[in-house]
């Protein structure tokens, strides 16, 4: 083992942070780029299901809030792209990988948002699950990723609360509204649980990521934490978790669920979810139609040395 | 990277008088775009009232595996610290 590898191992062992210009194993770098770019793409693609309701938000307040939330998602995507760029990949390459299907994004965003209650369910469940994952990632071993997570977690708690607020309004509204809230929960419950990824035994990248402290807690562990937090929140709303086998285990103190439908999960990952094609096509279209903006900016920057003052 | 597009390191001063702190990086084709992007990306919630952006390639750093040797000259000079000196009891304001 050379002195570079030794320095790296020491950082990991002592729970210090790896910084961009430190030596790191090529696989550590690759693993990080895969995870962080997937995370960034998820934030960016995640704007689409919410953007779907922007022009149909039921009040000015809810429209303002939704717009601010979508701006945050864009910001989170950009923080994460910046983090990945410190590892030697360019934003352009990441976009190309997204468009070719080589890079993935979270499957959850391949489900449609059919009613306004879905804006509640997305904030409450999807952002809620993301927070559980991201809080854990604040302790990741790569410095820029860890700092990005700290910033994102601070901002993300508003998202979950605004989602829950919508659920409270809908659940306490007319019978039709309550039905919409229940329907949204029914559709988003299992996909949210699957956001944590495959079971630990079936997760391709997990054990190496845990050893390198890129991931600090396992998929199943994080998923259980989310379930235990969320079930009482659903009960408060007077809604029913769509799982007839759901029960509280007094001994362990945890809620137990039915096995998930993993066939569906893998099917959506492979590109056959309800909105996979639409999400990617929309991203490509926006990227291509904005080409002239990038060209104009490049032409302008080559002509002037701009001063801000 | 696309021609003209560059990354910039962003530093924010939270309040007048405090040091500027590194916040992350952003993209921009020129200085003005870079600082506007930095504002939109890093100060959406009143994180600061003053910003610096610096082209990423202008940052120079010491790799961690060299750090020990690089910072070595500062390690063994205890006499640079106030606690190194013995002052008799009864003397104050020192």
Q: Does A296 touch chain B (CB under 8 A)?
A: no
C-alpha pair distances (Å), A99 with each of A87, A133, A197, A211: 20, 25, 22, 31
- The helix (H) or strand (E) run that includes residue A284 is helix A276-289
How many angstroms away from the CA of A16 is the closest CA of chain B? 11
pLDDT digits (tens, 9 = 90+) for A211-245: 999 999 999 999 999 999 999 999 999 999 999 99
Q: Does B24 touch chain A (CB under 8 A)?
A: yes
- pLDDT score at A307: 45
CATH number of B6-84: 3.10.20.520
How many angstroms away from the CA of A308 is the closest CA of chain B? 5
pLDDT band at B2 (very low <50, low <70, confident <90, very high): low
Q: Does A78 touch chain B (CB under 8 A)?
A: yes
Q: pLDDT exceeding 70 applies to what percent of chain B?
A: 96
Closest CA to A66 of A81, A49, A78, A42: A49
Torsion of Cα atoms, A165 then A258 then A196 then A234, to 10° = 10
**Mutation for A interface: B47, B64, B66, B69, most A CBs within 10 A:** B64
As a whole number of Å, the CA-based R_g of chain B is 21
Closest CA to A222 of A193, A258, A250: A193
The span from the CA of A31 to the CA of A61, in Å, is 41
DSSP string, chain B: --TT-EEEEEEEESSTTSPPEEEEEEEESSHHHHHHHHHHHH-TT---SEEEEEEGGG-----HHHHHHHHGGGTS-GGGSGGGS---TT----
Task: Tell me how far apart the terminal alpha carbons of chain B are, to the nearest angstrom.
Answer: 57
Q: A54 and A67 in contact (C-beta within 8 Å)?
A: yes
Contact A301 B44 (CB under 8 A): no
The span from the CA of A8 to the CA of B36, in Å, is 36
- pLDDT score at A203: 78
The span from the CA of A100 to the CA of A253, in Å, is 44
Contact A301 B41 (CB under 8 A): no
Beta bridge partners of A236: none
The pairing of beta strand A254-256 with beta strand B50-55: unpaired
- DSSP type of residue A213: T
- pLDDT score at A40: 98
How many angstroms away from the CA of A63 is the closest CA of chain B? 18
Q: Does A64 touch chain B (CB under 8 A)?
A: no
Q: Is the pLDDT of residue B48 over 50?
A: yes
- DSSP type of residue A201: G
- DSSP type of residue A253: T
Chain B residues within an 8 Å CB radius of A83? 24
Contact A294 B64 (CB under 8 A): no
The span from the CA of A113 to the CA of A279, in Å, is 12
- pLDDT score at B78: 87
B54 in helix, strand or coil? Answer: strand
Chain A residues within an 8 Å CB radius of B45? 155
Nearest CB neighbour to A78, from listed B30, B35, B41: B41
Q: Does B27 touch chain A (CB under 8 A)?
A: yes
- Domain locations in chain B as residue ranges: 6-84
Six-digit token string for A219 = 């998929």
Beta bridge partners of A256: A247
Nearest CB neighbour to A82, from listed B2, B3, B24: B24
Interface of B with A in 28-87 (CB under 8 A): 29-33, 35, 40-41, 44-45, 61, 63-65
pLDDT band at B42 (very low <50, low <70, confident <90, very high): very high
Give the burial class of B71: count Cβ atoms within 10 A of its Cβ; 0-12 exposed, 13-18 middle, 19 or more buried.
exposed
Q: Does B1 touch chain A (CB under 8 A)?
A: yes
- pLDDT score at A67: 95
- The dihedral sign for the CA sequence A269, A127, B9, B44: positive
Q: Closest-CA residue in chain B for A144? A: B24
Nearest CB neighbour to B4, from listed A147, A151, A298: A298
- pLDDT score at B65: 64
Low-confidence ranges of chain A (pLDDT < 50): 306-309
Place of tokens 């944590």: A196
Q: A185 and A243 in contact (C-beta within 8 Å)?
A: no
Q: A35 and A49 in contact (C-beta within 8 Å)?
A: no
């Amino acid at each position: 083992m050379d002195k570079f590898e030794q320095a790296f191992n020491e950082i990991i062992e002592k729970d210090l942070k790896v910084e961009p210009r430190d030596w790191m194993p090529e696989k550590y770098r690759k693993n990080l780029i895969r995870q962080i770019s997937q995370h960034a793409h998820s934030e960016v693609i995640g704007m689409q299901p919410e953007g779907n309701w922007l022009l149909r938000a039921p009040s000015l307040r809810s429209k303002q809030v939704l717009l601010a939330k979508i701006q945050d998602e864009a910001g989170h995507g950009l923080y994460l792209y910046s983090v990945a760029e410190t590892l030697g990949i360019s934003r352009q390459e990441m976009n190309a990988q997204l468009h070719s299907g080589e890079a993935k994004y979270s499957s959850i965003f391949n489900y449609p948002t059919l009613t306004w209650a879905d804006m509640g369910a997305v904030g409450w469940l999807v952002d809620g699950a993301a927070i559980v994952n991201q809080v854990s990632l604040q302790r990741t071993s790569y410095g820029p990723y860890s700092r990005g997570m700290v910033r994102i977690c601070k901002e993300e708690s508003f998202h979950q609360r605004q989602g829950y607020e919508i659920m409270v309004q809908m659940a306490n509204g007319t019978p039709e509204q309550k039905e919409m809230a229940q329907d949204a929960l029914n559709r988003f419950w299992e996909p949210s649980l699957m956001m944590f990824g495959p079971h630990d035994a079936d997760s391709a990248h997990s054990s190496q990521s845990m050893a390198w402290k890129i991931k600090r807690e396992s998929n199943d562990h994080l998923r259980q934490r989310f379930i235990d937090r969320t079930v009482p929140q659903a009960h408060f709303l007077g809604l029913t978790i769509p799982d007839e086998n759901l029960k509280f285990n007094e001994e362990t103190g945890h809620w137990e669920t039915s096995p998930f439908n993993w066939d569906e999960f893998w099917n959506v990952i492979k590109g056959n979810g309800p909105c996979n094609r639409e999400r990617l096509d929309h991203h490509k279209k926006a990227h291509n139609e904005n080409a002239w903006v990038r060209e104009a900016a490049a032409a302008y920057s080559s002509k002037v040395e701009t001063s801000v003052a | 990277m696309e021609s003209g597009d560059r990354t910039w390191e962003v530093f924010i001063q939270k309040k007048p008088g405090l040091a500027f702190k590194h916040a992350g990086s952003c993209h921009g084709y020129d200085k003005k775009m870079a600082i506007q992007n930095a504002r939109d990306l890093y100060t959406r919630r009143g994180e600061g009232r003053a910003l610096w952006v610096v082209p990423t390639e202008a940052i120079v750093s010491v790799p961690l595996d060299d750090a020990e040797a690089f910072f070595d000259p500062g390690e063994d000079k205890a006499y640079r610290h106030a606690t190194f000196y013995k002052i008799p009891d009864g003397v104050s304001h020192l």
